Amino acid sequence: MGYEMSSLRKEDISLYLYLKDIVLNKFTEIEEYSLLELMTDLCGMDSYVYELNTSLIPSPKERGRGWRYFDPPAEINNCNYYTSVSGLNGDGGVAYGTPEQSTMVIVYETSSSGTLDIIPPSEYMIDYIDCRIVSERKLNSPYVTYTWNYISVVDEWAAVEASEPPVIVIDIQGTDKSGYQLGGGKQTKRKVDIHIFASNPAERNDIVERLYDGLFNKSCVMYNFPTGSILDYDGTFYGRRTSITPENKLSYLFDREEVNKVGRLLFDTVVARHVNLPLVMTRGVDEIMLSDLNAYRSKISFDMFYYDDRIIN
Amino acid sequence: MNNIKKVSTNFNEIVRQQLILKFNDEVPYVKQAIMQAYDELLIGVVTDRKSKTNPLFYKDEFEERLNNFIYVKDRNDDITISIPDMDTFDFSGRLRVLKNIMEGATGIYVEISALDFEQIFNKQPVNIDPIDEYVPKKDTIYIIRYNSKVRQAESNILDKKLVRYPFSNSPPIDILQAGQDYVDNNIDLWLTKAIKTSEDILIQNRGGIYRPWAMK
């Protein structure tokens, strides 16, 4: 019997993807023609690894950021933000979902005449987390134009310090399950806190308002993740690295299969408030060398619940 | 028709009185739930006996503020039971340190005296509030970020290790939620009981004039 994720894990990842890919999709930045540097330590016989060289602060390479792996979501169509297409999932099974981006990361190579030529996406893989390009051949002075996530989204408090603000932490805490008054099935309720760490009050207010509006009177899909999440452990789009049929490697999809007999994740009692720490307010004091993440904080609390009609074995 | 109206008015009044009685009866248990969370989640965490931010030192004052909080509000047309939360509880004065702890803080911090601060930075800590401003100046302690400058000063200037703020890089610890959870878990039962008792009283009085001494 194969391993299947628990419901809590599916909810956690579904919420994470909803917030990162849909609610916060306007908080993206574009950098054009940035230099790619060859990382000789990571190169193998037939693979050349190039890493983004950028001086941007916050850095796109920081934890919880990375390059965008989907093209921008379309206008809302029956609550489906991404239009699904038929194809194969990362394991080669029939799927209905979203393909890897085609416009968010564009890689160029310097030609012999000095112009920049676009390299076809079939010639390289992208590590979206660490902002790297993996090619089978050596590239001549490569550059990249990319769209990256400005807000770092992480799922544990300990990871906040790993990135410069803005950072948001998704924290699912309490669980409460109760049966229906009649028949089988149950309602599952989770208490969720989102902690927001910004670099100034304006940025904090923008993020809080956007998140609040993305949760108030809203819901999101609970995905089944039959092949895991969107990215593989090495940051590549799942299925790209292990593709058996290379000519088909760009058609692999993130499988948007939903959990059967489970309703959407509904958000309720959404409350937002700013957090002001009375004692650790050391920002602006010249003794402090790093930005203080605690200076501009906010917290959004809400209940996330869904109706579950599955039979428990 | 007037009799029905009279019975209805009496019943409403009895229910109101019963709810006030019930809510007031439960307030000590709400406080107990919060204080239990205080002991388990805050005091149990600190192991460094030198730490001045140990919640043990602030327990009595916290309990006193908890006792001063107004839980049951009777505004004639409605009765509310409010539980203190991060916005409504009075964290002023000495209890600011508890607010710091309960809101969580990212980063590593140390506790430093005013004297040590002056030795490291050659100036007084004018922009930072002390943990406790009601103690003599020589005993004031500040929480500052444990950066490379402070780390170097420990060996080069102070020749001692500063006490680490025990709630460094700690997520929020909302002990007040324990009180809210207690109410959420029991409110339906309290309402059912209050209405049932009110019905009994009304029957005993045959719907007549409301007699508070008849309520048991």
- Residue A10, domain member (yes or no): yes
- Residue A13, domain member (yes or no): yes
User: Looking at CA atoms only, how far is residue B42 from chain A in angstroms?
Assistant: 17
Closest A-chain CA to B126: A285
Q: Does the ipTM exceed 0.90?
A: no
Q: Reduced to 3 states, what is the DSSP secondary structure of residue A124?
A: strand
Bridge partners (DSSP) of residue B145 are B109
- Residue A269, domain member (yes or no): yes
- Residue A238, domain member (yes or no): no
Report whether pLDDT(A281) > 50: no
Residue from A169, A268, A275, A282 to probe the interface with B (highest B Cβ count within 10 Å): A282
Q: Is B91 on the interface with A (CB under 8 A)?
A: yes
Question: Residue A303 — pLDDT band, cuts 50, 70, 90?
Answer: very high
CA distance readout (Å), B182 to A211, B21, B79: 29, 17, 18
- For residue A43, what pLDDT is reported? 87
- For residue B175, what pLDDT is reported? 94
Residue pLDDT, tens place only, A229-274: 889 888 988 887 766 555 555 678 888 889 988 999 999 999 999 9
- For residue B70, what pLDDT is reported? 94
- Residue A210, domain member (yes or no): yes
Cβ of B104 and A279 within 8 Å? no
Which of A232, A27, A55, A57 has the alpha carbon at shortest distance from A134?
A232
Q: What is the percent of chain B with per-residue pLDDT over 90, rounded to a whole number? A: 36
**Least confident span in A79-93, A262-276, B84-98, B100-114:** A79-93
CATH of the domain at A174: 3.30.2000
User: Looking at CA atoms only, how far is residue A128 from chain B in angstroms?
Assistant: 27
The number of domains in chain A is 1
The pTM is what? Answer: 0.86
Report whether pLDDT(B79) > 90: no
- Residue A207, domain member (yes or no): yes
Question: Residue A226 — pLDDT band, cuts 50, 70, 90?
Answer: confident
Residue pLDDT, tens place only, A187-207: 899 999 999 999 889 999 999
**Least confident span in A240-249, B125-134, B150-159:** A240-249
Domain that holds residue A305: 1-26+151-223+258-313
Contact at 8 Å (CB) between B152 and B179?
no
- Residue A240, domain member (yes or no): no
- For residue A121, what pLDDT is reported? 87
Report whether pLDDT(A290) > 50: no
Q: Is A161 on the interface with B (CB under 8 A)?
A: yes
User: Looking at CA atoms only, how far is residue B50 from chain A in angstroms?
Assistant: 19
**Least confident span in A171-180, A226-235, B120-129:** B120-129
For chain B positions 93-132, those within 8 Å of chain A (CB to CB) are: 96-97, 99-100, 103-107, 109, 120-121, 127-129, 131
The residue-averaged pLDDT of A209-217 equals 95
Given 3-state DSSP classes, what are the helix, strand and coil percentages for chain B, each rounded to the nearest 5? 55, 10, 35
| Mean pLDDT value across chain A | 86
Side-chain half-sphere CA neighbours of B29 within 13 A: 13
